A and B are shown apart, each in its own frame.
Chain A
Amino acid sequence: MRRINNPLLSLTAIGIVLILLVLLVGWVYRDIKTTRLRIGADQKIDITPQQIQSIKEIGEWEFLSISDEEMVDTIRHGIFSDDHLVRIYYGTMRLGVNLKQVEPGWIVTRGDTIEITLPQISLLDHDFIDEARTKSFYESGSWTAKDREAMLRKAYQMMLRRGMTRQNLQIAEQNGQGQVRQVMQGMGFKHVKILYKE
């Protein structure tokens, strides 16, 4: 067998091998550089239906709405550290009159004069907290349904204290008189007298 002993040929072969090696390393490096890894979970809820549980005819005339935000916190003392939970609750109190509570003869007309006796201004709906809008502001430790229910009750009382003031009730009364007068004048009554039931 004849042996090739040409140094030029050997150098060329080594050069080709080196070039191939560089290309291979470059290709692997490029792919490694574009490699992306991420561990995580989708935070979207599943699509589920909603059901109408009841439909009710109501007659509530609202004159004042008070939208409130309350930050409620709770603390649990531990041996080594304390646990905290801070949540922000949102709610809207609606003040007005319930037209289902009017008494017979609440409207008296004489020519172009009308006299209306409205029920007392009250909170139209005692369920006024939009709990599904609640924001979790700070949490350490684990908390139960009972803890969250207690916080909701606390938020409810805080909102009532802030919203159901004598001043707000008076504003609602005054606005109610103005609004009912406007509607009655629109209906053609020149003289409108509005009273609230004692």
Chain B
Amino acid sequence: MSVPADTLPSLVTHIRQCSRIYTTEYKIHKIVTHDDVIRLKGTFLAQDFNLKMPLGDRKIAIPMDATLKTYIDMSNFSERNVEKTDGKIIIILPDPQVIMTSSKIDQKNIKEYIGLVRSHFTDAEMTNYERQGRAAIIESIPQLNILHTAQENAARVLVPLIKQMGYQEEDIIIQFRKEYGLRDLQSLIHLDIEHEKNQ
């Protein structure tokens, strides 16, 4: 196989030190479908037309699973996040974030229908549909009501930890910055966009 050297992607390993407490894990299932119909489109004598060609259709359904996790970034945690009054401790946590940590294509259960005169879906076509499915899952995050559960679970993780330090459960208060609107939610979804831009 000869591949021009200048088309080889640079493969990179990024190592990053961090301090994130993951509190909630979501398993998402999606079936990506694509209906591949060959169409003849164009303009003739100033008239637009769009005709389905009698070449046969192709259809594909790709089941996929994704794991989303919410986390609290503790890397800037300091005494400014803690208030102590009358034996009570108030912890003010930074905004929870959401990240897709993994995804899996159910290769064995991919279903294809190929018309008689059509070729099979190529690997490039299939990965293109899978990437679109991944993007659709990320776009749907604001509708999943994830961050409310993230806040509750952050408290469930941190309260036992603080109890071990000698505080009574009723004296521990976990607070968040504010209630979130849809616009806030969009900004809290952490994506590997920079990473993808480099591809």
Contacts and interface: CB of A to CB of B under 8 A. Distances in A.
Interface in A21-68: 31, 34-68
Contacts of B53: 39
B43 A50 contact: no
Which size class do A's interface residues fall under? 35 or more
Given A61-B20, A149-B107, A66 B13 contact: yes
A164 to B, nearest CB: 12
A71 B10 CA distance: 10
Contacts of B129: 45
Given A52-B144, A57-B23, A163-B13, A138 B1 contact: yes
Interface in A152-191: 152, 162-163, 168, 171, 175, 179, 182-183, 185-189
A148 B90 CA distance: 51
A40 B78 CA distance: 58
Interface string A82-100: 1011111011101010010
B19 interface: yes
Given A35-B43, A43-B125, A107-B161, A57 B24 contact: yes
Contacts of A188: 79, 82, 84
Nearest to A189: B165
Given A162-B13, A187-B82, A132 B22 contact: no
Which size class do B's interface residues fall under? 35 or more
Main secondary structure of the interface of B (DSSP, over half): mixed
Given A50-B140, A55-B149, A67-B13, A43 B128 contact: yes
B127 A134 contact: yes
A92 to B, nearest CB: 7
A41 B102 contact: no
Nearest to B70: A58
Contact of A85 (B28, B69, B102, B123): B123
B32 A48 contact: yes
B85 interface: no
A47 B107 CA distance: 20
Contact of A171 (B15, B122, B131, B153): B15
A67 B14 contact: yes
Given A58-B24, A96-B20, 13 more contacts: A36-B43, A43-B34, A46-B33, A57-B23, A61-B21, A62-B18, A63-B19, A64-B17, A67-B14, A87-B123, A109-B166, A130-B100, A130-B134
Interface of A: 31, 34-71, 82, 84-88, 90-92, 94, 96, 99, 106-107, 109, 114, 124-125, 127-140, 142-143, 145-146, 148-149, 152, 162-163, 168, 171, 175, 179, 182-183, 185-189
Interface of B: 1, 3, 9, 11-46, 53, 64-67, 69, 71, 74-75, 77-82, 84, 89, 100-105, 107-108, 110, 120, 122-134, 136-137, 140, 144, 149, 153, 156-157, 161-162, 164-166, 192, 195-196, 199
